[in-house]
Amino acid sequence: MRGELSVFSDLDEAARALAERVVRAADDAVARSGRFTLAISGGKTPEPLFGLLGGPWAKRMPWTRTELFWVDERAVGPDDPESNYGGARASLLAEHPLRPEQVHRISGETPDPESAAKAYELELRSFFADTVPPVPFTFDLVLLGIGPDGHTASLFPGSPVLEERIAWVRAVPTPVVIPRVPRITLTLPAINAAHEAAFLVGGADKAPALRSILSNPDARETSLPAARVQPRDRLEWFVDRAAAGGMRPTR
């Protein structure tokens, strides 16, 4: 089993448990270093989580000490319904806007995704400059989802970007999954240099990929990108019963 698996009756319950986890990780990080660096994903699954952390639970979060980053972005403008930044702005950031310097978004509207990737790479390298060699650390916590094909972030099966060893950010050509627009994504070196990562997964359509990822002890034996996520300190899976497909929780 790769990481710790928790199974909940539905996605709302999983989102509540993950919200608790985010608040705890935030408090620990602020106590340790005075700030909390969080990278978030797009897609539909995190909507209930963002609704909680941005709404009823906002007071529990050390938002003034939080630096917010994105795992990936679609090549669209911030007001496009497919924008990952736009989605978070409408939920996570709706009631307590952060100072602009706390919001590290990927520029989906830059006409050339390669340039947007380079700009984000520079921003991350400069932000995390104090943690770079000998042991590079990036985020305190990365929140991830998976697709039914086992992709995570915008790291798709068979993509050469999966083999990236150096760059933290790469542009990705239009994938076969919707929305069919180019992406800009964190790479495995950036994600795996995080302290912790947590996946939120819901729905029976993701059960086969999830089973294959979790039951394969060696990431090299599966071609599923999400199986290659291995942060430095802790990996957790918050999963609803439909996605778990009968797999037993490990805690």
Smallest distance, ligand 6PG to C-beta of residue 31, A:
29
- Give 218: exposed, middle or buried? Use CB within 10 Å, 0-12, 13-18, 19+: exposed
DSSP H or E segment with residue 208: helix 207-215
- As given in the structure block, the two tokens for residue 131 are 């943690």
Stretch that binds ligand 6PG, among 43-51, 61-69, 89-97, 127-135 (CB under 6 A): 43-51
Smallest distance, ligand 6PG to C-beta of residue 188, A:
13
Q: Single out the residue of 3, 43, 189, 208 in contact with ligand 6PG (rule: CB under 6 A).
A: 43
Q: Of 68-127, which residues contact ligand 6PG (CB under 6 A)?
A: 71-72, 84
- Rounded to the nearest 5°, which phi and psi values hold at 166? -115, -55
Cα–Cα distance measured from residue 14 to residue 1, given in angstroms and rounded to the nearest whole number: 19
Stretch that binds ligand 6PG, among 19-27, 111-119, 145-153, 212-220 (CB under 6 A): 145-153
| DSSP-derived secondary structure for 120-149 | HHHHHHHHTGGG-SSS----SEEEE---TT
Is residue 245 close enough to count as binding ligand 6PG by CB under 6 A?
no
Stretch that binds ligand 6PG, among 41-49, 51-59, 163-171, 190-198 (CB under 6 A): 41-49
Residue 138 and residue 190 in contact, taking contact as beta carbons nearer than 8 Å = yes
Smallest distance, ligand 6PG to C-beta of residue 183, A:
7
For residues 175 to 214, the per-residue mask of contacts with ligand 6PG, x marking binding by CB under 6 A and - elsewhere, is ----------------------------------------
Q: Single out the residue of 37, 41, 91, 107 in contact with ligand 6PG (rule: CB under 6 A).
A: 41
Is residue 145 close enough to count as binding ligand 6PG by CB under 6 A?
yes
Number of C-alpha atoms within 13 angstroms, CB side, residue 75? Answer: 19
Cα–Cα distance measured from residue 187 to residue 133, given in angstroms and rounded to the nearest whole number: 18
Residues that bind ligand 6PG (CB under 6 A): 41-45, 71-72, 84, 145-147, 151-153
